[in-house]
Structure 1
Amino acid sequence: MDSTAPSSVKPSNVRLQLEDLAFGSVAGMVGKVIEYPFDTIKVKLQTQSVLHPLYAGPMACLKATVRQDGLPGLFKGMSSPIIGAMLENAILFVGYRQIQRAIRSYSQTPPEEPLSLNQLVLAGAMAGTVVSFVLTPVELIKCRLQVQRSAAGPRQLIKQIYKQQGMRGFFKGFMPTCVRETGGSAFWFGAYEYSCRWILLHNSDGGIRTKKDLSAAELMLAGACGGIAYNVSFFPVDVIKSRMQISIGPSSFREVAKEIYRGARMGGFYRGCGMTAAKSAPANAIIFMTYVNIQQRFSILFLSLAHSLSLL
C-alpha cells in the first residue's frame, strides 16, 4: 500500500501559475465590485476643476452623482475595470510568486526558509511594474467613462481613441501609472506580509503557526492594511495620472502637477484620499481573503485527486 500523503505531492510551477491566474482573477473581480462606487467618487473628486471645484467633498459628490444618474451612476463604466481587475490581480499574483522564485534562486535561499520582508517588497514592486502595462489602457477607459456626461460605452470610447491617436493613445499616463503600481505594489504586498507576520507573532498561543493557519478575519485584517498602504502611499501620483488620462490634448506629468499645485497647493494632491482609504480597506480585505481561501480549498482538492490517481 502506497503511504504517500496528499500533502507530499509537490505542485508543478505551471500548475501554480494557473492557480494564481484563476484565483487572482476571481479575487480581483470580487474586490472591484465592492470598491467601484468609491472609486467613481474618487475619480470625480480628483479630476474636477482645481480653481472651480464642482463638489465640496466626497458626500457632496456622492449625492450629486446619485441625484443626476441614480445608483447606476456609481457603477458607470464598470465593465472595463472588471476585466482590468481580473487581469491586474492575476498578473500581480503570478508575477509575485514567480519573482519570489527568481529571488530565492539568486539568493540561494533554501525552500523551507521564508524570504525576508525586503525581498518580498522587491518582488511586489517588480510585479507592479509588469502589471502597469496592462493597467494603463484599462484605467484610461475607466476614468473617461466615469467623468463623461454622454452615454457612450467602452466600445465607442475605444474606437474613438484608436481612430484619433492609434495604439499610443491607450498608454497616456503610463509613466505615473508605472510609478504608482511599482511603489504601490511594494507597499501592498509589503504591508500585507508584515501584517501577517505581526499577527502570527502576537497570536501564536505558544504553538507554531504559518500563514496558512490564519483565519479569514486575520487575512482580511492583513489585506485591509495592504490596501490602505497601497492607495495612500502614492496618492498624489494617482491624482496626476487621473487628470492626465481625462485630458483630451497632450499633457505632461510636470505640467499637470504644476496646475494642481497652483490651484489648490498640496491639498489638491489629496482630493479623494479619505474616500480611497475607506474603499481600499474592505475591497482588499476581500481580495486577499478570497485568494488565499480559494487557493487552499482547491489545492487540497487537487492534491487529494492527484493522490487518488497515484493509487490506481
Structure 2
Amino acid sequence: MATATTTDFTPSPAPAIAVKSKEALMDAVEDIVYGSIAGVAGKYIEYPFDTVKVRLQSQPDTLPLLYHGPLDCFKQSIRSDGLYSLYRGISAPLVGAALETSSLFFWERVGRELLFTSNLYSRSQPLPLSALWLTGAISGAFTSLVLTPVELVKCKIQVPAGSTVAPRPLSVIREVYRHQGLRGFWHGQLGTLIRETGGCAAWFGSKETVTLLFRRWNSSSPSSPSSPGLQTNLNHNPQNLPTTSSPDLAPLPLWQQALAGASAGMSYNFLFFPADTIKSRMQTVAADSTAPQVKFWQEGKAIFRAYGLKGLYRGCGITVARSVPSSALIFVVFDALKGGLQFS
C-alpha cells in the first residue's frame, strides 16, 4: 500500500531575495549615474579655483614665489593667458569628477551594506554618526585608487613643467607611460589615500551631522512642519542619524540641504589639506625627470623645513572657499535626482 506524502507549500524566499537584489542593483546604478551628473556640475564651478590652488601649491622652494596669494595668481593667470587658462585641462577633470563623485556615493552605499550584512547594525534603525563617518572613510579609500591617475594628469596640465604651453591629456598620458610605466600613474597615491580616507569621512560625516541638526531643529520648531515619522525616530534613537533615504523622513528644504553640503566641502578640504599639497608637489614634477622620485614623507619634510606649517596649507583658503558652492551643488543635485529634496 502506497503511503501518502505531504507536500510543503511554504512559499520560497527566492522571489523576495530577487526583488531586494534588483532594488539594490537599481540603487547602485542610480548612485553611479546621479553621482556622475552631480560631480560634473560641481566641477564647472570649482575648476578655476582648483587651478589656482595647484599653482600656489607647486611653486618651487628654491626660487622667489611667483604668486603672492590667490588673488595675485588669478590676476597673473588671466593677464597672461586669459580666463581660458583657468579652465586649462578641464576635460580630464570632468571625467575624473564623474568617476570620483559616482565612486564616492557608490562605495559609501557599499560601506553601509557591509555594516548591515556583518550584523553590526540593524536595517530597521538608522546608522549612528560614527558609522556614517566610517562608511565615508571606506568610500574615500576605494575612490583614491580611481582619483590618483586622474589628478596626476590634471596637475601636469595645470602646471606644465618647463613650458608655458599646456599639454593635452593624451600627450601627458603617453609621456607618463613612456618614462614611468603603468605604475607612474599612481605617483602620489599615499597622499590621495590619506586625503580621501580622512576627507571623505569628514565629507559624508559632516553633511549627515548638519542634516541631523537641521532635522532636530525642524522637528522642534512650531513653524517648521515635520513628519510624524521623523519625531518618533529622533525621540526613540536620539544618538542615531536618520538618513535622507529613509522613507519616513521628510526631505530637508533646499537651503538646509545646501548648507549641509557646503559644510561637507569645507570639512573635507581643510582637515587633510597638507596631504593634498604634498601630492600636488609630487605630481607636477616632469615625467622625464632623471632625479629620483621623492617619497611622500620626504616631500612633506622639505615643504615644512622651507615654509613651516603655512607652506603645507598654501592655497587652502581658496580651496575651502571654492568647496562651499561646489559641494553644496553636488549634494543638492544628487539628492534632487534621488527624489530627496524639498524646494521650499
Structure 1 and Structure 2 fold alike (TM over 0.5): yes
| Identical-residue share of aligned pairs (%) | 42
Specify the alignment match of 2:204 in structure 1: 189
Aligned-pair distance for 1:98?
1.6
Which amino acid in the other structure matches residue 227 of structure 1? G
Give the 3-state SS of the residue equivalent to 2:127 in structure 1: coil
Determine if the alignment matches structure 1 residue 93 to structure 2 residue 105: yes
Which amino acid in the other structure matches residue 233 of structure 1? L
Structure-1 separation of matches of 2:55 and 2:146: 23
Q: Select the structure that is richer in helix.
A: 1
Decide which of 45, 53, 56 is 1:42's aligned counterpart.
53
Aligned-pair distance for 1:56?
0.6
Which amino acid in the other structure matches residue 37 of structure 1? P
Specify the alignment match of 1:131 in structure 2: 143
Structure 1, unmatched stretches of 5+, are 1-8, 299-312
Higher CA-based Rg: 2
Which amino acid in the other structure matches residue 31 of structure 1? G
Specify the alignment match of 2:11 in structure 1: none
Give the 3-state SS of the residue equivalent to 1:12 in structure 2: helix
Specify the alignment match of 1:270 in structure 2: 313
CA RMSD of the aligned region, Å?
Answer: 1.7
Determine if the alignment matches structure 1 residue 286 to structure 2 residue 326: no
Aligned-pair distance for 1:107?
3.3
What are the equivalent positions in structure 2 for 1:171-250 lying under 5 Å apart? 171-204=186-219, 205=221, 207-208=226-227, 209=230, 211=244, 212-248=250-286, 249=291, 250=293
Which amino acid in the other structure matches residue 89 of structure 1? T
Structure-2 separation of matches of 1:283 and 1:115: 26
Which amino acid in the other structure matches residue 64 of structure 1? Q
Aligned-pair distance for 1:297?
7.5
Which amino acid in the other structure matches residue 294 of structure 2? S
Give the 3-state SS of the residue equivalent to 2:181 in structure 1: helix
Kept in 1: contact 2:157–2:169 (CA 8 A): yes
Aligned-pair distance for 1:108?
4.7
Decide which of 170, 181, 185 is 1:166's aligned counterpart.
181
Kept in 1: contact 2:158–2:166 (CA 8 A): no
Structure-2 separation of matches of 1:187 and 1:179: 12
Kept in 1: contact 2:88–2:166 (CA 8 A): no
> Closer, same or farther in 2 for the Cα pair 1:105/1:16, shift >3 Å?
same
Decide which of 15, 36, 40 is 1:29's aligned counterpart.
40
Structure 2, unmatched stretches of 5+, are 1-18, 231-241, 245-249
Give the 3-state SS of the residue equivalent to 1:109 in structure 2: coil
Which amino acid in the other structure matches residue 46 of structure 2? E
Structure-1 separation of matches of 2:320 and 2:128: 27
Which amino acid in the other structure matches residue 184 of structure 2? G
Aligned-pair distance for 1:105?
2.4
Structure-1 separation of matches of 2:146 and 2:114: 22
Deviations 1:63-91 (A, max 9, x none): 00001110000000111010011001111
Kept in 1: contact 2:262–2:323 (CA 8 A): yes
